[in-house]
Amino acid sequence: MQFLYHPDSGLSKIKIEGESYKYIFKVRRHKEGERIALRNLQDQFIYFYTIERVTRREAELLFLEKEEKVVMPKNSMHIGWCIVDPKVVEKTLPMLNELGVEKITFIYCDRSQKNFKLDFDRLNRILINSSQQCGRSKMMGLELVSSIDEYLKIYPQSAVLDFGGKHVICEDMVKSILVGCEGGFSEEERELFNKSRIFTLKTPLILRSESAVVAASTFLLLK
User: Is residue 188 in some structural domain?
Assistant: yes
Helices (H), 5-162: 18-21, 86-99, 120-134, 148-154
Phi (first) and psi of residue 137, to 5 degrees: -95, -10
Judged on CB neighbours under 10 Å (0-12, 13-18, 19+), 135 is: middle
Structural domain range at position 166: 78-221
Phi (first) and psi of residue 128, to 5 degrees: -65, -50
The residue out of 46, 68, 90 marking a domain boundary is 68
Number of domains in the chain: 2
Whether 51 and 93 map to the same domain: the answer is: no
pLDDT at 173: 66
pLDDT per position as a tens digit, 146-176: 999 999 999 999 999 987 666 665 546 688 9
User: Is residue 73 in some structural domain?
Assistant: no
Is the pTM higher than 0.85? Answer: yes
pLDDT at 197: 83
Whether 119 and 179 map to the same domain: the answer is: yes
User: Is residue 107 in some structural domain?
Assistant: yes
Whichever domain contains 18, its CATH number is 2.40.240.20
pLDDT per position as a tens digit, 96-154: 999 999 999 999 999 888 899 999 999 999 999 999 999 999 999 999 999 999 999 99
